[in-house]
Amino acid sequence: MTAFLIELVVYSALVVGYFFAVLHFLADWLSNLEKTHIHIYAIVAIGLIIGQAIVLEMLTTGLMRLLQGGRSE
Amino acid sequence: MIAMMFPISHAEISPIYLTVVGFLIGILGGFFGVGGSFIAGPALRAVGLHWNFAVGTDLAHIVGKSVVAAKRHRALGNVDLRLGLIMAIGTIAGAEIGAQFIQHLKKAGNVDYVVSMVSIVIYFGISIFMLLEGLATLRSKRGRKEGSKNKKKDDSAFKGISNGVQKIKIWPMISLPVSGVKSISVWIILFVALIGGFFSGFLGGGAGYIRMPSMVYILGIPTHLAVGTDLFEIIISASYGTFTHAIKGNVDILIALVMHTGAAIGAQIGAIMTQYFAGPKIRLAFVPLPLIGAAIVIYTLVTGQKL
């Protein structure tokens, strides 16, 4: 439970950083792409959500392993 | 709460709200193998997103959440890839038929009433059936014994139905060793997926509330495998749905990405939680979900307002 709560705090901090760093820069580009090349936008949208899913899954799994490893040592 | 401007849909929504909604739906998705669109749609509408964006954006978010939950379920041995790939074909075909049916109803001018009534009947029907079946299974001596021994070894009070279905010999027959099915017709799998896909296109969302019980009761797939495989199948069918909605200008991917940051962790928690519950208990816990959907539809029908 403690490991999970620590994971949640670290994860939240990373996600807040992600909102301001990545999404802020992506917003205008995606908005323009949606207006000018809708088919490319559709493909990019699916790629982005799957890419984010894989990265976040790796991140949460890695964090959990790190915390569990640190606790057992 | 700090609001963030989303330029694609021109909506101003708090990212914290989106993350929390995503987190809650993620838990439901990971545990039950459903997309959670009956909650996500109204939750997005509640903050002023237009209905077309709510539907399309929710589908995009479902793709991401299902990737995380299915990956976790795969690690737990709960995904039958062969079954999932066959089902994806039927689901996509069914979703197209459902969408065409909606177009015909739109032309007839009674789409809202018909869809609302059908969804209420379906939601109530699933809930009552699963409640009766889950209770009957838990009451039976065998169900109690297996529930306490091995959480993944499943039993159903309606096992006779799936046994009968597996005996129907229509070529080509295949085996699903991961799901413990020795022989089943591909056409039956496609038909079950087609029905699920039809309701996905007709009622919106992923229609996991129909597909997951169908996999258990008709195909005879153990509940844990049905949840994991349904999530894997949803990745393919929801990606297709996202693409078709995106080219119609119904997807704000930035909203989906923010929602997904909450869903990613919620889906993992939901998937891990399935390890601690036996199949009949997961099915019993599933019962209120379609009822929530029915309550939302009844509210919309009675008040004339969308949540």
pLDDT in tens, B13-63: 998 899 999 998 888 888 887 777 777 877 887 788 887 888 889 889 889
Could you report the per-residue pLDDT of B160-177, keeping only the tens digit for each?
A: 888 999 999 998 999 999
CA distance B229 to B84: 5
CA distance A54 to B207: 24
Whether B145 shows a pLDDT value over 60: the answer reads no
| CB-nearest partner of B261 from A15, A42, A46 | A15
Whether B273 shows a pLDDT value over 90: the answer reads no
Residue B152 pLDDT: 58
A69–chain B nearest CA distance, Å: 19
Average pLDDT over residues B73-88: 92
Could you report the per-residue pLDDT of B178-228, keeping only the tens digit for each?
A: 999 999 999 999 999 999 988 888 876 777 878 888 999 899 999 889 989
Which secondary-structure segment (H or E) carries A11?
helix A2-18
Contacts of B68 in chain A (CB under 8 A): 53, 56-57
Cα-atom radius of gyration of chain B, to the nearest Å? 19
Cα-atom radius of gyration of chain A, to the nearest Å? 16
Angle (deg, nearest 10), helices B111-139 and B186-203: 130
Interchain contact, B15 vs A43, CB within 8 Å: no
B246–chain A nearest CA distance, Å: 5
| CB-nearest partner of A52 from B249, B257, B268 | B257
Interchain contact, A15 vs B19, CB within 8 Å: yes
Which distant-in-sequence residues (6+ apart) come within 8 Å of A2 by Cβ? Answer: none
Whether A72 shows a pLDDT value over 50: the answer reads no
Interchain contact, B242 vs A11, CB within 8 Å: no
Interchain contact, A31 vs B4, CB within 8 Å: no
Residue B151 pLDDT: 56
Which distant-in-sequence residues (6+ apart) come within 8 Å of B168 by Cβ? Answer: B185, B188
Q: Does A73 reach chain B within 8 Å, measured CB to CB?
A: no
Q: Does A19 reach chain B within 8 Å, measured CB to CB?
A: yes
CA distance B100 to A63: 45
Tell me the pLDDT of chain B averaged across its residues.
84
Whether B297 shows a pLDDT value over 90: the answer reads no
pLDDT category at B123 given cuts 50, 70, 90 is: confident
Residue A4 pLDDT: 67
Contact B183, B175 (CB under 8 A): yes
For tokens 């569990």, name the residue: A68
Q: How many CB pairs under 8 A join A and B?
A: 96
**In Å, how far are B23, B206, B272, B273 from B276, measured between CA atoms?**
20, 25, 8, 6
**What residue in A sits closest to B15 (Cα-Cα)?**
A19
Average pLDDT over residues B1-24: 88
CA distance B200 to B238: 10
Cα dihedral across residues B51, B52, B57, B62: positive or negative: positive
Q: What is the ipTM score, two decimals?
A: 0.86
Residue A73 pLDDT: 38
Residue B157 pLDDT: 66
Contact B286, B136 (CB under 8 A): no
- The residues facing B181 across adjacent strands are B176
Average pLDDT over residues B61-84: 89
B259–chain A nearest CA distance, Å: 10
Contact B126, B257 (CB under 8 A): no
Average pLDDT over residues B287-294: 83
- pTM of the entire structure? 0.82
Whether A43 shows a pLDDT value over 50: the answer reads yes
| Test the A interface: residue of B61, B66, B261, B272 with most A CBs within 10 Å | B261
Contact B94, B197 (CB under 8 A): yes
Average pLDDT over residues B131-151: 66
Contact B226, B212 (CB under 8 A): yes
**What residue in B sits closest to A26 (Cα-Cα)?**
B254
Q: Does A42 reach chain B within 8 Å, measured CB to CB?
A: yes
Tokens of A40: 């490319």
B189–chain A nearest CA distance, Å: 27
| Test the A interface: residue of B1, B72, B245, B265 with most A CBs within 10 Å | B265
What are the residue ranges of helices labelled H in chain B? 15-32, 37-46, 51-75, 81-108, 111-139, 141-149, 159-167, 186-203, 208-214, 223-246, 253-273, 279-286, 288-303
B261–chain A nearest CA distance, Å: 7
Residue B203 pLDDT: 76
Average pLDDT over residues A24-39: 91
Average pLDDT over residues B143-171: 72
